[in-house]
Structure 1
Amino acid sequence: MTELDGTTALVVGAGRGLGRGIALALADAEAAVVGVARTGGDLDELAAANGRIRTETADAADPETAWRILDRYEPDVLVLVAGANPVMRPLQHHTWETFSANWNADVKIAFTWLREALLRPLRPGGRIVVVSSGAAIGGSPASGGYAGAKAAQRFIAGYAQDESDRAGLGLAVTAVLPKITPHGDIGRRGIRAYAARSGETEDVFTKRLGDLLTPERAGSAVLELVRTDPPELAAGYLLTAAGLTKLP
C-alpha cells in the first residue's frame, strides 16, 4: 500500500489534534479520506482544508455508527483516534463515573470498531491503526482511569490481530502510543494538571518535555505505517517528535 491513490481511509476522531493531522496527511497522500467526529464545525474546517476529505458527524462510541459507516465506505485504512477528555483529579477526588470516563469512551470505541471490522470483515490487506497513549506505559496518576483505558486499547488491538490471523482475514492491526503533547485538548489538559501538581508553570513543564509531537508528525507516522509491508509491522509503537519506535 505504498501508493494511496484509490485507497479509502477512515479516520475516527478527525476533528482536532492528532486526528486532524492524520486525516490531512492521508489526504495529501491522495487517499480518499472520511473524517468522523462529533463536532460538525471542526469537520467543516477539515473538509475545507483538503478537497479529498469527506466528513461524517457522529458519535463514534455508538455501535450503530461503526456498522453504518464501515458498511457505507468500505475503507482500506481505519484509524481510531477518538476518545474522551479525562477528568484531571487525584484518585481520591474521583467518583467511579469520572474515573471510568475513558473506559466508556476510548475503550468502547476501540472495541466497537474493531469488532465490526472483524465481523464485516474489512477487505484482506486492510490496515487498522489504534491510537492509544504513552500513558499506557508510564501511567497517569492525575487522570483517573485514563492510563488503564489506553493500555486496554493496546491489548484490544493485539486481540484483533490474533483473531484476524486465526480467521485468515489478512488484516494488519497496529497500536500507536503518542507522547503527551500540547497540540490537542487532552494533552493540554494533562499538561495543565501535571504542571499544577508539580508546582510549575505550564511553560516550564512543557519545556521539560523536550521536542513536542505535532499533528503533522503524527500524520507522517501513520502514513509511514500504512505504507509499511505487514510482515514488517510491529504490534505497537511509541510515537514522539523523533518518530516511531517499536515496542516489545
Structure 2
Amino acid sequence: MTGRAANPGSPGAVEGLTGTTALVTGASRGFGRAIATALSGVGAHVVGVARDQARLDDLRDELGDTFTPVVAEATDPDTAARLIGEHRPHTLVLNAGAAPLLRPLHHQTWETFSRNWEVDVQQVFHWVREALLRPLLPGSTVITMSSGAAINGSPLSGGYAGAKATIGFMTSYAAAESKREGLGITFASVLPKLTPATELGASGVAAYAERQGVDLGSFLEALGSTLTREQVGTSVVDLAAGHHLHQDTYLLTPTGLAPLG
C-alpha cells in the first residue's frame, strides 16, 4: 500500500520524487517537520512518524492530503517493519532522536549518557535493517540525519556525538551491503552544523555560550551564519532526487552540502 500521490503538476514538482511516497521519522518538529514539508512541496506524498499526535495533526492541517500522520514509536522494530511494508517508501528519512541532557561528562549518569544510543542509534538500526531485508525497491533512497557533532565532538551532551558518528558508520555499512547484494538502494548520512533553528539546537547554543562565559549574541556572532530548517529540508530533497549522491556522508552548513570522504 502506498500513500496518495501528489499532483504531478505541482509548481514545486521534482523529477523522480513527484508521485512517490516518502516516509520521515521524527516528523512533528524541527528538522523532521521541515523535511516533511519540503518533500510534500515537491510532489511526494509524505508519511510522517512521531509520538506527538497534536503536532502531527497540525502538520496535516498545513500540508493537507499530501501528508499522512502516523503516531508511533520510531525505535520499535515492529513499527519499522510494519510501515515499510505498508508504504514501501521511495524515500526514507530517519530523523527521530532524543534531546541529550546538556551537562559535562562527570555530571551525567550512564542512563543520561547513553540516551542517544538507545533512541537515535537504535532507530536507525531497525529501519536500515528492515530496508535491506525487505528490501526497498531499486532506486529508493535512505537518508539518515546525523550531526556535525560527529566530527568535532560535543562535551556537554554525553554520548550524543558518538551516537551520531555511529549513525554515519551504519549508513556507510548499509550502502556497502546494498552495493554488494545489488539492491540498488542508496544510503546517505547528513551532518547538519550546530544551529539555533531547532529546540535542540537552541538549547545547545545556549549551553555552550554559558560554558564559554559569553552572552548568546556574542556566541552566535562567533558561530557565523546559521543553518535554517528550510535549508535542511531543501538539502534532503536534493539528496532524495539524486542531485548530490556521490558519497555516503555529507556535512551540511549554510553554504550547502559538502561530501565527506
Name the TM tier (shorter chain): over 0.9
Q: Deviations 1:114-134 (Å, cap 9, x if unpaired)? A: 001111110111101001000
Tell me the equivalent position of 2:256.
Answer: 243
Q: CA deviation at 1:206?
A: 2.0
> Could you list the per-position Cα deviations for residues 124-180 of structure 1 after superposition, in whole angstroms to 9, with x for gaps in the alignment?
111010010000001001111000000000000001111111111110000000001
* AA at the equivalent of 1:193: A
2:32 counterpart residue number: 19
Match of 1:87 among 86, 101, 104: 101
Identify the structure with bigger relative contact order (alpha carbons < 8 Å, sequence gap 6+).
1
Match of residue 54 from structure 1: 68
1:88-128 Cα distance to aligned partner (Å, 9 max, x none)? 11011111111100000000011010001111110111101
1:199 aligns to what? 213
2:111 to 89, 93, 97: 97
Displacement of 1:193: 1.1
Q: Give the C-alpha shift of residue 2 in structure 1.
A: 2.8
Point out where structure 2 has 5 or more consecutive residues left out of the alignment.
1-13
Unmatched segments (≥5 aa) in structure 1: none
More divergent stretch after superposition (177-186 vs 98-107): 177-186
Structure 1 position 229, deviation (Å): 5.8
Matched, 1:226 2:240: yes
Q: Distance in 2 between matches of 1:243 and 1:229?
A: 12
Distance in 2 separating the partners of 1:163 and 1:244: 24
Deviations 1:14-39 (A, max 9, x none): 11111111110000000011111111
TM-score, length-scaled by structure 1: 0.96
Amino acid at match of 1:213: L
Any conservation in 2 of the 1:2–1:228 contact (CA below 8 Å)?
no
Q: How many residues align?
A: 247
Amino acid at match of 1:238: L
8 Å contact from structure 1 (residues 2, 226) kept in 2: no
Kindly indicate whether the alpha-carbon contact (under 8 Å) linking 1:174 and 1:233 is maintained by their aligned counterparts in 2: no
* Equivalent residue in structure 1 for 2:228, among 203, 214, 226: 214
Partner residue, 1:190: 204
Please state whether the residue corresponding to 1:177 is helix, strand or coil: strand
Matching residue of 1:67: 81
**SS across alignment from 1:56:** strand
CA shift for structure 1 position 207: 2.4
Of 99-108 and 188-197, more deviation after overlay is shown by 188-197
Instruction: Among all aligned residue pairs of Structure 1 and Structure 2, give the percentage whose two residues are the same amino acid.
Output: 51
Provide the residue aligned with 1:41 in structure 2: 54
Report which stretch shifted further, 143-152 or 187-196: 187-196
| Matches for 1:146-185 after TM superposition, within 5 Å | 146-185=160-199
Other-structure match for 2:132: 118
AA partner of residue 147 (structure 2):
S
8 Å contact kept, 1:9–1:76? yes
Tell me which stretches of 4 or more aligned residues in structure 1 moved more than 4 Å.
none
Please give the secondary structure, in 2, of the residue aligned with 1:102.
helix
Contact 1:176–1:239 under 8 Å retained in 2: yes
Pairwise CA distance, 1:204? 2.2
